[in-house]
Structure 1
Amino acid sequence: MMIPVRCFTCGNVVGEHWEEFKERAREGDEDPGKVLDELGVDRHCCRRMMVSHRDLVDVVSPYQ
């Protein structure tokens, strides 16, 4: 699915950082922890949302 707009635990906005995080950490060679630090994602719950997210919208959409 798509990245949630807000963190499930604390309610901070995390969706606005997803594209840059994906470009730099997932498709680039940068360390995900350093990228999250530079983006200002400090809380562990928000970091968990970013690091553990899998983009499944292309997989699920044919079945809707």
Structure 2
Amino acid sequence: MIFFTPASIEFRMIIPIRCMNCGKPIADKWRFYKRELVKMNGIENGEKRVYFDGTSIPVTNEKKLMDAIGINRSCCRKHFLTQVDLIDKI
């Protein structure tokens, strides 16, 4: 379990060390991803909802950030987009 506290925000995580499908190491990029995502969204809790209506596909901050840190495969992106911090709920 890793605790990371930038300013007043605390992230707790249990993320796989490697992608379950392709085996690429992804855990080393998680803290940077969460920290930068909060900065890009400009909100403290890191949750900003984007609704897809099928008429257009917006380029989200998540996509920009994953492209920047080298998470290109869809299987690896799945881990970043669907990660839930369950430590708070246990």
TM over 0.5: yes
| Identical positions, percent | 32
Could you list the runs of 5+ residues in structure 2 that have no partner in the other structure? 1-12, 42-59
Runs of 4+ in 1 over 4 A off after TM superposition: none
TM-score scaled by length of structure 2? 0.60
Structure in which a larger fraction of residues adopt strand: 2
Q: Over the residues paired in the alignment, what is the CA RMSD in angstroms?
A: 1.5
Q: Return the alpha-carbon distance in structure 1 between the equivalents of residues 67 and 35 of structure 2.
A: 15
TM-score scaled by length of structure 1? 0.82
2:23 corresponds in structure 1 to 11
Is the radius of gyration larger for structure 1 or structure 2?
A: 2
1:20-64 superposed Cα distances (whole Å, 9 cap, x missing partner): 111112x2317000100000011000001011101112322xxxx
SS at match of 1:50: helix
Structure in which a larger fraction of residues adopt helix: 1
1:39 corresponds in structure 2 to 69
Could you list the runs of 5+ residues in structure 1 that have no partner in the other structure? none
Relative CO higher for 1 or 2, CA cutoff 8 Å, sep ≥ 6? 1
Match of 2:33 among 21, 25, 36: 21
